[in-house]
Each structure stands twice: as structure tokens, then as C-alpha cells.
Amino acid sequence: MGRHPGWPARLGPLRVAAGLLEVRKPRLSDAAAWSRIRRRDRRHLEAWEPTTPGDWDANNAALAWPGQWSTLRALARRGMSLPFVVTVDGQVAGQVTVGNIVRGSLCSAWIGYWVGTHAVRGGVATAAAALVVDHCFFNAGLHRLEATVRPENAPSIRVLTKLGFREEGLFRRYLDVAGTWRDHLCFALTTEDVPSGLIAKLVADGRAARA
């Protein structure tokens, strides 16, 4: 199976308030750390993520990770996704995923992310998303990225607006979240919006430093 643009990749490091941040491909050995954060932070995450059948603890147990890891790897190898794990000082802190990659005349995808409660105020989500956006535009050959977020999710909206994503509309009853069809705002960014990249902007604004 051939390689696809932008995969695999290791991005960073960047120095942010929380520590030394890197973004890398998922590893099978991430199971315990991933599960510990996901199960600990259920209340923090469940209100914003798509509803999945079954029990939260079972779906996010260490034994559930190999199946997810295998799926993420398969999609990446087929050029359909760019899945990343976020680390701070070498420890798992969250994930950033670029999915539904479409090439040809569209060259578009969506981006989603989460970070653990221990990292939400350390600039981690903003810097990790910026690394991945720059990688998508400059290395993976994409032209447009979309992000959908519930209007109530103020922290995630702040991340997107700090990065320069523009609000393009409201999707009514767009996604099943926490057992109910929820409205989502659509934000988007194209290569023309950030000709010098997002990391350069974060560094210039003092939000991150190259390590």
C-alpha cells in the first residue's frame, strides 16, 4: 500500500504554557494513558462528542484502544484520515483528527480535537490544532478545513476563533451528541486565509515558541 500525502508525520515540538508539545501518530502503547484520561474526564468530554452505542467506561477502556488504533491506522493508510495524538512533556494529553479527506477539485476535510482537563488552560488545544492545520495545508495538500462545534461549547469556539477560523453557518440537528440531535456551528479555514501558517502567528503573538 502506497504512502499518502502528509502521513505518517511527527509535528513540533512547540513550547506552550503547559510544557513541551508534540503531535504524533497514535501508538498501540497509548492504551493505558488514553483510557485513563478518557474515563477520568467523562463529564468534560461526553457533552461534546458524538453518541456511541454502549457504556462510556467500556468504550474508553484500555482494551477498547487496540480496535480504535487499528481503525485509525487503516484510514490513514488509505488516505482518508490524519489521526494524531497530542503529548505534553512526553505524556498523552489528547487527540487531533482530520477526517473525511476528499481530494480532487475539493481538497477538503474536517478537523476535530479534544484535550484532557489537565491541559485545557495551557494553550495545548490551540497549538496542537495549529500544528495540524499547517501540516494539512503545507504538506498534505489540502485546501479547506471545516470544524463543527455546538454553540454551547465556548472553549472550543475560542480555540477556533483564535486560529482564525470563520463562522460560516448553523447546521440544524446536525449530530447526535449525548443522545439528542444537536445544532452545530460550522467554522472553516482555507489556505488563502493563512499564507504564512498558524504557527508563525502563534509565535508572533507570544502564544507559543519553537523548541
Where are the domains positioned within the chain? 11-210
What pLDDT is recorded for position 2? 54
Helix (H) or strand (E) holding 109: strand 108-115
- Say if domain 11-210 classifies as CATH 3.40.109.10: no
CA distances to 40, 48, 87, 154 from 43, in Å: 8, 10, 21, 16
Phi, psi of 77 (to 5 degrees): -70, -25
What pLDDT is recorded for position 86? 98
pLDDT means per 10 residues, the chain with 211 residues, are 82 97 98 98 95 95 98 96 98 98 97 94 95 98 98 96 97 95 98 96 94 89
Is this structure's pTM higher than 0.85? yes
Length of the chain: 211
Cβ atoms 89, 78 nearer than 8 A: no
Cβ-based neighbours of 104, under 8 Å, separated by 6 or more: none
Cβ atoms 83, 90 nearer than 8 A: no
What pLDDT is recorded for position 121? 83
Let me know the angle formed at the C-alpha of 117 by 50 and 179, rounded to the nearest 5 degrees. 20
